[in-house]
Structure 1
């Protein structure tokens, strides 16, 4: 299994691909300001998925610690799921669960502050979610490939 630092290095290395995909999204799908906003949402989602919404929020990891005084919101999540389970490290499913779990905390807070719910930003939210999902896919593939290589190395000994 890869360390938190190793995951972040790999995700940073993959950032070139993310920036290229975001640029292409901006150019070919939506021109002008709207495309740039969507590309920004994708890149922001990728960064958030790497540093704050990682599949490793199911343990006391670097992403967990980055939440600072708000990390307490992830403690129930950690008790509900075991590390590297299908529910936390499942492609798309893990992201959807983390996203919905976070929204369960944010919507009441959002309402108490008197802000209207952001219902008109569906496309931006979907693109942000796509960015977080890509970061998770890179994370999960790194976990699986490093575990595979370690097992293979042990067999050769």
Structure 2
């Protein structure tokens, strides 16, 4: 399988093409910006390889990489984390971690919780999170297929 560095280089190298395609298709600049930030963030920090205890994506979390140990223990490598549900599992996991921080702050210190997430942000965020995931899994499958054919 490709290394984490190869996955990241491939994902980031294709980003300008996706942005250009979106611009030519008439996607608003704000949506393209949100998409691009989500895409880069997902490529760097929400890779399907977070299901490995030791991986480039988990190392990018620096001192917070321990937060992903339960995720790696829960999902076997190339299992559900590499399926269409994979990005959703990582987003829900991040939401659960966030609630562990923000709910106590809200109840103990009165820190207000966000009232609503702007719905117009959701599509470009989801596309920005899912597209690098699909490229990652596609590259894995392409390399595996190529190896099988060469045997």
The verdict on a shared fold, with TM-score over 0.5 as the criterion, is yes
Mapped partners of 1:98, 1:3: distance in 2: 20
- Report the number of matched residues: 145
Matching residue of 1:129: 126
Q: How does 1:11-50 map to 2 (within 5 A)?
A: 11-24=11-24, 28-29=26-27, 35-50=28-43
2:76 to 68, 72, 82: 82
Matching residue of 1:140: 137
Runs of 4+ in 1 over 6 A off after TM superposition: none
Contact 1:55–1:136 (Cα < 8 Å) also in 2: yes
Mapped partners of 2:47, 2:58: distance in 1: 8
Aligned partner of residue 65 in structure 2, secondary structure: helix
Mapped partners of 1:126, 1:74: distance in 2: 25
Matching residue of 2:66: 72
Mapped partners of 1:78, 1:137: distance in 2: 19
Aligned partner of residue 116 in structure 2, secondary structure: coil
Could you tell me how far 1:83 is from its partner in structure 2? Answer: 0.5
1:58 to 41, 51, 58: 51
RMSD: 1.7
For structure 1, list consecutive stretches of 5 or more residues without a partner in the other structure: 30-34
When normalised by structure 2's length, the TM-score is 0.87
